Amino acid sequence: MSVRRLLLPLLLVLSLTACAEREQAESAPAGDSGDFPVQLRPEGAPAVTLDQRPDRIVSLSPSTTETLYAVGAGEQVVAVDEMSTHPEQAPRTDLSGLNPDPESIAGHDPDLVIVQSDRDGTLADSLAETGIETLVLPAPGTLDGMYHQFELVGRATGHAGAGAELAEETAAEIDGLVAAAPERAGELSYYHELSPQLHSVTSTTFIGRVYDRFGLTNIADQGDPGAHGGYPQLSAERVLEADPDLIVLADTRCCGQDADTVAQRPGWDTLTAVERDRVVGVDDDLASRWGPRLVEFVRTVSDAVRRTHG
């Protein structure tokens, strides 16, 4: 048998393999094949350049933890903070996102740490001494800011295509839920409760801007939505006087609040929202995190608005 005939099968295999590799490269989403280094520019935080794909990530932000898993970077996550309750498989530890300890964080041998805040860059400076990069992703002020963070998380982890897709799909779902609300939704007022002590949010906060998409009037604004950093404590008299059309309880898990407990408060049984069964309970986390599950909170608001004008 000639040498040429012996080489033909080998050449055929090599040719097919090369073709397959080219097809795989062409079909892979841009950025998901490891396009590093990448420069990340989060809003309200320092820019960060990652030279290579991080394989060991510590997340000290519950919202970002959810986003990491949503973009397919869950296998890269080695530790999360004590407040990162979702998803269940996230490796929860006693790490604190409010008071991060550089030494405890470094003990997990990460190559990337993601936090919500880093006052004066002290954490980033401490971790940099051991070669650990820190990415700060502050609470976004708008939905567009949240979508931008989805894309940043995707790019930072080597899942750029998935991050962009998550942003696009989430925006489309939220836009659809808002569009499904009745045109008269703008006639409604609401009270969003964070605690039984009547802490609330104004329309300047991230959650307040979600309600703004429906055109609802926030009784907590009281002529100055920026007061108290957007998180005022109302008086019972203020709520009774405003008589909101809709009450949304974001203290169901922490504090056991529901329609019955609200109706038992002095004078609250006369409120329009109570009388017409418009007191809605939501999971505390869904109403406080800027992650992919925000869609569920928006759906709850959309359904409540639709029932009110049904």
> Mind listing the pLDDT tens digit for each residue in 95-147?
999 999 999 999 999 999 999 999 889 999 999 999 999 999 999 999 999 99
pLDDT > 70? residue 207: yes
Lowest mean pLDDT among 34-43, 152-161, 202-211: 34-43
**Residue pLDDT, tens place only, 135-170:** 999 999 999 999 999 999 999 999 999 999 999 999
Q: Indicate left, alpha or beta for 19 from its phi (over 0: left) and psi (-120 to 50: alpha).
A: alpha
Q: How far is CA 52 from CA 98, 134, 209, in A?
A: 28, 14, 36
pLDDT-derived band at 34 (thresholds 50, 70, 90) equals low
Per DSSP, the residues of 141-188 read SSHHHHHHHHHHHHHHHT-HHHHHHHHHHHHHHHHHHHHTS-GGGGG-
Q: What is the DSSP-derived secondary structure letter of residue 139?
A: P
* Beta strand pairing call for 246-249 and 279-281: parallel
- pLDDT (0 to 100) of residue 310: 56
Average pLDDT over residues 296-301: 95
pLDDT > 50? residue 33: no
Largest Cα–Cα distance in the chain? 99
**CA–CA separation, 284 and 22 (whole Å):** 47
pLDDT-derived band at 187 (thresholds 50, 70, 90) equals confident
What is the chain's length? Answer: 310
Which of 186 and 75 is assigned the larger pLDDT? 75
- pLDDT (0 to 100) of residue 20: 40
Radius of gyration of the chain (CA): 24
Tracing tokens 């609330």 back to the chain, one arrives at 200
Q: What is the DSSP-derived secondary structure letter of residue 7?
A: H
pLDDT > 60? residue 23: no
- pLDDT (0 to 100) of residue 32: 56
Question: Which H helix or E strand runs over 210?
Answer: helix 206-212
pLDDT > 60? residue 11: no
Q: What is the DSSP-derived secondary structure letter of residue 28?
A: S
**CA–CA separation, 81 and 301 (whole Å):** 29
Residue 139 has a CB neighbour count (10 Å cut-off) of 17
pLDDT > 50? residue 17: no
pTM of the model: 0.86
- pLDDT (0 to 100) of residue 278: 96
- pLDDT (0 to 100) of residue 13: 36
DSSP 3-state of 298: helix
**CA–CA separation, 293 and 299 (whole Å):** 10
Tracing tokens 């998380």 back to the chain, one arrives at 153
Q: What is the DSSP-derived secondary structure letter of residue 94?
A: S
- pLDDT (0 to 100) of residue 9: 39
pLDDT > 70? residue 91: yes
Of residues 78, 251, 57, 50, the one with CA closest to residue 155: 50
pLDDT > 60? residue 202: yes
